Amino acid sequence: MATVSSIQRIVKRNGSVVPYDRDRIVTAIYRATAAVGKGNRSLAASLARQVEERLIQAYRGDMLPSVEDVQDVVEGVLMDHGHSDLARSYIIYRHQRAMLRRGRALTFDIADNIPYRKIYEVLRWNMEQQCESVPALNRLIRKGYFPDLAALCDRRYADEVRRAALQVLERRDDVRVVIVAGPSSSGKTTTTIKLSETLREGGLALKAINIDNYFFDLEMHPVDEFGDYDYETPEALDLELINEHLARLLDGKPVTMPFYDFKTGRRTLNVTPFRLRKREILLIDSLHGLYADMTRSVPEHAKFKLYVETLGQFRGADGQFMRWADNRLLRRMIRDMHFRNLKPIETLTHWHYVRRSELKNIIPFTKHTDYIVNTALPSELPVLKARLFRYISLGRRRYRDDARRLDAYIRANRVYELLKPLKPVRDDTCIARDSLLREFIGGSHYTY
């Protein structure tokens, strides 16, 4: 085990927390040196210490880096110290390890909290539509096929939601609560609306409850050294009041829901009367819908749990797959700017809270879902680039030499490199008014 440092623990890909071990970094870097014929363990150990120093500066207090965060820092250190050949070797090694993990698990539906079978289906669909990469998407845009692609992407997503609704209809005698859960900006609200449309067609009466109204006042949440509030944890919600109201509603009793104002960060109690009538199903659209304490007052057999995520299998010009969380970061940057009075750069610097909470409170529960919907739309990326690329560039420049904002710089740089060669689409008139993308860019005929 490596010498004890300020980095004591890291978060694995499946959300579990394990002891930090510098020797694992040393070994990975050493393999990169050996791959280019320069095997040097002393150099690997020296570079690993540099990696550790950056991690200590960037992740303070109870902030824990993930395995992928550590790997990103390794790549940065190698490049910054003039070892571009080692960096390339390390990236190849990292990619090969990822492919091995995928290959081992393709026969399972969900393994290590990753739905491998689902993402394989996504990759096949993208390849069939010739939109699986930046070069492929650029070709479609040049040929004038972008409107057709946008329509195809919307149709695929709507079909998946409809299949989920049909499963609910098959269990109509037992289900009392339908939960639409997923990480930030995965498209839960639009999914809930479209799910509701199909269920109504099937004869089910529905009523949605907005869990966001159960947030505690923002001033009650902890503040970090930058004055940023952590409202991504499920404990930021009044779980006791949620469960009290759920129990009363399923018992046929009325409740009076609170109202939360995101612009002021304050909650007002006893604002909206609400009750479930006989044979009505309650719909819950919540970031933490799979978190056990969120709905502990509801019997398990009475729940249908739908999980949504941007499971996009989209590659950059360098062949690297875009991270699902980066797709959602772009969505949230533009949504926060339009609807929550936040600058995109503020969303970028807050994103480490989002990811920390996802890894701890969302990802570990994905194996307990009844159905998974992929909400990634390859057609959204050129539209998002047109609106956000200048902010991504700003974050990349502003935080490059700020050790405390290493996380923001790494994310901004990664997204910058992915989007840079992609052709932007500034005219969004071809995006349907009921498209999932409208949840973020505005102009939907749905009310959010």
Residues 194 and 300 reside in one and the same domain:
yes
Q: Report the number of distinct structural domains present in the chain.
A: 2
In a domain, 110, yes or no: no
Q: In the listed set 104, 136, 171, which residue is the last one of a domain according to the structure?
A: 104
pTM for the full predicted model: 0.76
pLDDT at residue 223, rounded to an integer? 67
pLDDT at residue 3, rounded to an integer? 41
Q: Take residue 277 and report the two structure tokens written for it.
A: 């009538």
- Which CATH number belongs to the domain containing residue 159 in this structure? 3.40.50.300
Domain of residue 57: give its range. 9-104
The rounded distance, in Å, linking the Cα atoms of 149 and 377 is 9
Residues 91 and 39 reside in one and the same domain:
yes
Residues 85 and 150 reside in one and the same domain:
no
pLDDT tens sequence for the chain (448 residues): 334 457 888 887 666 788 888 888 888 888 888 877 878 888 989 998 999 888 888 887 667 888 888 888 888 888 888 888 777 777 776 666 665 554 444 333 555 567 888 888 999 999 999 999 999 999 999 999 999 999 999 999 999 999 999 999 999 989 999 999 999 999 999 999 999 999 999 999 889 998 989 999 988 876 665 666 766 788 889 999 999 999 999 999 999 999 999 888 899 999 999 999 888 999 998 888 999 899 999 999 999 999 999 999 999 999 999 999 999 999 999 999 988 878 999 999 999 888 888 888 888 888 889 999 999 999 999 999 999 999 999 999 999 999 889 999 999 999 999 999 999 999 999 999 999 999 999 999 998 8
Residues 222 and 131 reside in one and the same domain:
yes
pLDDT at residue 102, rounded to an integer? 47
Residues 127 and 160 reside in one and the same domain:
yes
Residues 356 and 281 reside in one and the same domain:
yes
Q: In the listed set 77, 104, 131, which residue is the last one of a domain according to the structure?
A: 104
Residues 200 and 286 reside in one and the same domain:
yes
Q: Take residue 269 and report the two structure tokens written for it.
A: 């109690």
Residues 230 and 332 reside in one and the same domain:
yes
pLDDT at residue 129, rounded to an integer? 94
In a domain, 111, yes or no: no
Residues 128 and 213 reside in one and the same domain:
yes
Residues 276 and 388 reside in one and the same domain:
yes
Residues 182 and 228 reside in one and the same domain:
yes
Q: In the listed set 71, 104, 137, which residue is the last one of a domain according to the structure?
A: 104
pLDDT at residue 81, rounded to an integer? 84
In a domain, 109, yes or no: no
